Structures are given as structure tokens and as C-alpha cells.
Amino acid sequence: MKNKYSIFSLIKNAFSQHENWQQAWGNPEPKKEYEAVIVGGGGHGLATAYYLAKKHNMKNIAVLEKGWIGGGNTGRNTTIIRSNYLWDASAGLYDHALKIWENLSQELNYNIMFSQRGVMNLAHNLQDVRDLKRRTHANRLNGIDAVWLDTKQVKEFCPIINISQDIRYPVLGGTLQRRAGTARHDAVAWGYARGADAMGVDIIQNCEVKGIKRNGDQVEGLETTKGFIKSKKIGVVAAGHSSVIANMAGLKLPLESKPLQALVSEPVKPIIDTVVMSNAVHAYVSQSDKGELVIGAGTDAYISYTQRGSHDVVEGTLKAILELYPIFSRMKMLRQWGGIVDICPDASPIISKTNIKGLYFNCGWGTGGFKATPGSGDLFAHTIANDEPHKLNAAFNLNRFVSGDLVDEHGAAAVAH
């Protein structure tokens, strides 16, 4: 049984110099067989295991992670959470996640530092204005809070923005979702890992999948660096490496894996208390609780698994940031990194069964998977447990690339890719 985190446990542990805190999750050796195995110990994978144990009463679950918990894209994203997507299917999916975020710290007894500081999306030309206004209307029809702000209101909401109409991409207005915001990205993975571990899920780190064993069209288990693990249900949540795992099972996915970069500045006093994103000039910025500006850049336009990214992409983003926020011109950037994102042709995810029985994929989140973490885990767990999608993820099946019923969210992805 896990100790509950509270003010009392904090005081109690203070007396022992915080040296006796219980381990948040264990480090078990894999068993021979599991009822379900989740490949990928990021936020989405751990959430899937958590909800499989919690809502679907599965007792014997493993999460396999090639590296360590929180070391992949979970610890590499820019922590933005919002649900202002255009189409009904996406609105349902992302707002489901946002509703879970709102109570997640309490549910997990783990402070994920969820902060509804609002997300503002800027418009820089007349087409942006039309698209974003249309999106606010679509959002409101789906019960998602969204308002249109004119240039003056944008300036009032975020005073450091340069609203001069003489710049290359002037601010013509923007949309605001006040329920949107940020969360501490690692804490989400850690909280789900602790919660899943408490319900008996085996979290196995440093365990890489090397092959998928099939018997006809049914999966039998996984070859891993820690030996063969038998399971009739395998859920793959491997982000940028989804295609690599799919190829092991003889499957092809409609994905391309590309490096996406982010960077943080040196820490400064509070200067921006919201999240501002701009699709057209590809700049988005927020400020972490430590005081660093958290800046998201774009993807490289070619397939690569290098977790680096090109310098010219960062340069382009910083140029745009400096034009929009001249106040940052003397800021020094502290760190830059890349993560590998799996991009779908319609910029929407895949949470789906496959034509191999017992093999499920949750992938294609592209540049914006973090915001969906709790919802994605919940719906993927439902899909695995029932061998049927939930109505909220039914549209996000693999078959849409055959039927042509795509969920084209390139406009709402907030960054062009």
C-alpha cells in the first residue's frame, strides 16, 4: 500500500531529513506472462496501464519502457494543454482529456501542477482571422470555451506582445481558451506510474522490445532485451518509434517520424502569465514555474530519429518570437532539445485496433500529444479491454485511411506541419 502524500506526510518526513520517503514505484523483473502489455512508458502508456487496472479490473499488466520513465517525449514537450480543436471528433477527444486534467492531481494524489492560465492563438492575416473565428464558433457549439479577441484585447491579455501593424506578421487578433493551460510534464508520468504501481502494474524500465511474435493473426508475445514475455493483448504507445514496432509485426502505419524541437531560456521573474501560440509564424511561448521561457519550435521537414533537429528551425522560431516580443531580445537561451514525433497525414492521432488480433496502436499524436495524455490513456484502455473503441475514439481508427473519413486538423494543430 502506498503512503498518501499530504501536509502530514510532509511534516513527518521532515523529521527524518526526507530520507525515508517511500519509493514511488518499484523496479520488478518481468514475469513470464501478462494479461496485457503496454509498450512505451511515457505518459500515454502509463495512463493506459493505470486505467486498465482501475476501470477495467485487469490485475496482471506490464508497462515496458526502453529507457526510463519520463525520459522520452513526456519530458521533452512544452506542456501545453488545450481542447480548442475544429472538428467534432477532435473536440470530443481533447475536451475529454481536459476534463480529466481538471481533477487529476486529486485523483492521483500527486501534484501535477495543472495551471489553467489560458492559451491564446494569434491571427496574422485575414485568412487566419476567418479560420480562427470559425474555430471559436465550432468550439462553442461543442461546449468548449473559446472567445475571439481583437488586437487591443490581445494586448490587454498579454501586455508584452508587440501589436505594431508595421511588423512583417502583425497581430490582427486571436482566440482565447481560458480553461487551457499547462501542467508539469514529468509529474504526469510520475503520478500515473505511482498510481499504476499501487494497483500492481509492473513498470519495467530499460526493457526494449525487439520483436513481436504472432500465431497467424493473433499476437502471442514480445521478444525483449529481458527475454520473451507472453501476452495476448499488446498495446503499443511508442510515439516516434511506433512504425519501428509496427514493422516488427509486419504492419505499415501512415506515419512519418520527425524531430520536433523546444528550448528554454535562462530563468527570469514572471513576465508572461499565459501561453501564446502563433501558427503562421510558428512561435509559441509560456513561462515555467522556475521562470524559464518555454519555447516550442517546428518540426524538421524530413524523417529522422536523431532527437536533435536543425538549427535553422530554431532560428526561424526565435526570429518570430523577437518580432512579437521585442522585450526578449537580450534573453539567453539555456537549453535546446529534440523529440521524435510521429505525424499522421491528417494531423490526428490513431487509437485503434489493427488487423492483428490483440495488437493495438495508440500513435500519430504528432506535435501535440501531451495535452491528451489522460484522455488518450483512458480511451486506449477501453479499446484494449473491450476489443472495441469507445465512442470518443471511434473516429480515430486506422481504417480511416482506407475509407477516406479523415479528421483533418492541420488548421487546429496550432503549429504548421
Partner 1 sequence: MFVINCPYCGERDQSEFSCGGEAHIVRPKQPTELSDDEWAEYLFMRKNIKGVQFERWNHAHGCRKWFNMVRDTSNDKIHAVYKMGEKPPVI
Residues near partner 1 (CB under 8 A) are 241, 243-244, 247, 252-257, 301-306, 308-312, 342, 345, 401-404
Strand partners, 259: 340
Other Cβ atoms closer than 10 A to 216: 7
Q: Is 333 left (phi over 0), alpha (psi -120 to 50) or beta?
A: beta
Contact 61, 35 (CB under 8 A): yes
Separation between Cα atoms, residue 191 and residue 29, nearest integer Å? 21
Contact 383, 360 (CB under 8 A): yes
Cα three-residue angle 363-338-415, rounded to 5 degrees: 65
Other Cβ atoms closer than 10 A to 14: 9
Measured in whole angstroms, the distance separating CA 231 from the mean position of its chain's CA atoms is 27
CB closer to partner 1 out of 272 and 283: 283
CB of 308 to partner 1, least distance (A): 8
CB of 336 to partner 1, least distance (A): 12
Strand partners, 213: 221
CB of 210 to partner 1, least distance (A): 13
CB closer to partner 1 out of 200 and 345: 345
Class of residue 38 by CB neighbours under 10 A (exposed 0-12, middle 13-18, buried 19+):
buried
CB of 335 to partner 1, least distance (A): 18
CB closer to partner 1 out of 174 and 369: 369
CB of 302 to partner 1, least distance (A): 4
Q: 3-state DSSP call for residue 31?
A: coil
Separation between Cα atoms, residue 66 and residue 261, nearest integer Å? 21
CB closer to partner 1 out of 91 and 251: 251
CA-nearest of 267, 269, 294, 292 to 283 is 294
- CB-based contacts of 104: which residues, under 8 Å, 6+ apart? 112, 114, 183, 188, 191, 374
Contact 117, 274 (CB under 8 A): yes
Q: Record the cell numbers describing residue 20, joined without a space.
A: 525515508
CB of 32 to partner 1, least distance (A): 29
What secondary structure letter does DSSP report for 361?
A: E
CB closer to partner 1 out of 257 and 373: 257
CB closer to partner 1 out of 29 and 312: 312
Contact 70, 186 (CB under 8 A): yes
CB of 256 to partner 1, least distance (A): 6
Angle between helices 88-108 and 185-198 (to 10 degrees): 70
CB closer to partner 1 out of 59 and 311: 311
CB of 300 to partner 1, least distance (A): 8
CB of 24 to partner 1, least distance (A): 31
